Amino acid sequence: MSYLKTSTFKSIHELCDIASVVIFCPSDSTIMLVIEPSSNEYWIPSVKVPAGNSWVGQISRDLLQDIFGTNVTINRVLRVNKLWMPASHKAPYLCHSIFEVQVTLEMKKKSKSPFGKYKGKVRWTNSQEITKFLENNVLKSPEVVDFISWVTNKPSPVGNTPSEHTIIGNFMEVTENVMVTGKNNIYEQIVDASGIDRAAQETLYKEFLLMAFPSNFLALPVFSKFVVDIGWPKDEVHHLFRSADMYGRGGISFREFLYFLAAIEPGTSHGGGPAELRCRYIFKYLDTDKNNLLKRDEMRNFVVLVRKARKQPLDPPKVEKELNECYQAIGIPENHALTMSEFLRAVGELKVRGTSQIYRAPNSIQKYIKDIIERDMRSKAAATLEHQNVTAGVTTYKKTQAYELAVHSVKIQKSGTTINIEQFWNIDSR
């Protein structure tokens, strides 16, 4: 499971609160970003906050001092994210607190030569640059676009809040309701059809947090490592991400991650609501220029995918012949670009065939879930053993304290009167 190298945490058992800072320079409307050492993505400065510690204290001591070398005033709280954790975790929820710190141009200059872990990793950016970073998939999360909009008081171009996020003012919460338990819409129906039950969802949820936290979304770099790890070839990664990113925001929430996994699961039935949803995913997978139309070249890719799944020859004449037959069956000109509704109707009327055979993961996610559980059990056992060893060391140390080597000699007369006290190293050997 190599993608775990991109995580802020080494294991699910290490997950704890995180405090972050949006460091803003009002003079030029820029914010500070830092390169995440685990994934080479841009993010805001963040620090882990162990249980019982102060968010503000941890930021001041372990973050702002490193960057500026002096005390810096924290201006306000921008957002507190509270995320539910399954019962098996040591804490019932995780928090990500985000604060704002405003700095002058002089302080900004100081930050360009920071101390400690941020040395050489700081970059000041404005809104336009951050938008380009998002387009180039080098941000840890599209939330960075929101962060600069909050401090500059401008609307964020990133919309469509995930359905599992409850937001009131500057507070966001993800509750246990993030788990899919019903069949009220086609998204819930496809999860049910995939066989990903409550226990499996909890495992995937924890894995999602391990990969993404403190961000609320999976961006392309980490998503890429995940899908390659479950067996997809690298040349399909961008197409898969585009299909999974339901709103084109540049990041995938947990529910979107779950729906995507259900759609690509080899055993998911291709009928009714799940079939329609899978076809919607396939359309987005094929729509390489994201214009909500399938041009002839994109439909040719569809024919190639189907022929691959059927283990048929991919020589150009045969592909072109089948492509022409596809347009004839639909009854449209060969240069006509299909809309989503036209594509769905053609599939429903059996004028386009093969959708049930494509967009299937090479391996079942169920096997992967089993591997995750086994890995976490080994990690927990190793952590328990380490804790026991440390505890045993402390106990041994305490026991030896009862037998400290004396460093003084005391001479006492029979009457009880002390007549001399000498250090051992001053007593001559006789």
> 252 and 123 share a domain?
no
CA nearest to 286, candidates 331, 328, 240, 247: 240
N-terminal to C-terminal alpha carbon distance within the chain: 69
Dihedral sign from CA coordinates of 163, 140, 137, 234 = negative
Contact between 71 and 61 under an 8 Å Cβ cutoff? The reply is no
Tokens of 348: 């429903």
> 319 and 196 share a domain?
yes
pLDDT value for 387: 55
Residue 250 lies in a domain: yes
For the entire predicted model, the pTM comes to: 0.86
Asked if the model's pLDDT at residue 170 lies above 80, the reply is yes
Q: Give the domain-ending residue among 118, 149, 177.
A: 177
Least confident range from 306-310, 319-323, 358-362, 408-412: namely 408-412
pLDDT value for 241: 98
Tens-place pLDDT, residues 87-111: 878 889 999 999 999 999 999 988 8
**Domain of residue 290, CATH code:** 1.10.238.10
Contact between 176 and 251 under an 8 Å Cβ cutoff? The reply is no
CA nearest to 379, candidates 261, 213, 206: 206
Q: In which band, very low, low, confident or very high, does the pLDDT at 48 lie, cut at 50, 70 and 90?
A: very high
> 345 and 228 share a domain?
yes
| Neighbour count for residue 330 (Cβ, 10 Å) | 18
pLDDT value for 378: 84
Q: What is the mean pLDDT of the chain?
A: 88
- Provide, for the chain, the percentages of residues in helix, strand and coil under a 3-state DSSP scheme, each rounded to the nearest 5: 50, 15, 35
Residue 418 lies in a domain: no
Domain count, the chain: 2
> 167 and 254 share a domain?
no
What CA–CA distance (Å, rounded) separates 205 from 287?
29
| Residue scoring higher pLDDT (3 or 32) | 32
Asked if the model's pLDDT at residue 428 lies above 50, the reply is no
| Residue scoring higher pLDDT (89 or 169) | 169
What CA–CA distance (Å, rounded) separates 96 from 19?
6
Tokens of 12: 């699910």
CA 272 to chain centre: 32
Q: Domain range for residue 78?
A: 2-177
% pLDDT > 90, the chain: 73
Asked if the model's pLDDT at residue 116 lies above 50, the reply is yes
Q: In which band, very low, low, confident or very high, does the pLDDT at 296 lie, cut at 50, 70 and 90?
A: very high
| Residue scoring higher pLDDT (427 or 169) | 169
CA nearest to 105, candidates 23, 48, 172, 178: 23
Asked if the model's pLDDT at residue 126 lies above 80, the reply is yes
pLDDT value for 323: 97
Q: In which band, very low, low, confident or very high, does the pLDDT at 72 lie, cut at 50, 70 and 90?
A: very high
> 308 and 191 share a domain?
yes
| Residue scoring higher pLDDT (158 or 325) | 325
> 173 and 280 share a domain?
no
> 126 and 209 share a domain?
no
What CA–CA distance (Å, rounded) separates 155 from 169?
15
> 337 and 224 share a domain?
yes
Q: What is the average per-residue pLDDT within 393-420?
A: 50
> 207 and 302 share a domain?
yes
Tens-place pLDDT, residues 358-397: 999 999 999 999 999 898 888 777 766 765 665 556 555 4
| Neighbour count for residue 275 (Cβ, 10 Å) | 20
% pLDDT > 70, the chain: 86
Q: Which helix (H) or strand (E) holds 220?
A: helix 220-229
> 171 and 60 share a domain?
yes
Fill in the amino acid letter for 14. E
Q: How far is CA 76 from CA 29, 89, 150, 294, 327, in A?
A: 17, 30, 12, 47, 59
Q: What is the average per-residue pLDDT within 117-137?
A: 92
pLDDT value for 380: 73
Residue 425 lies in a domain: no
Residue 210 lies in a domain: yes
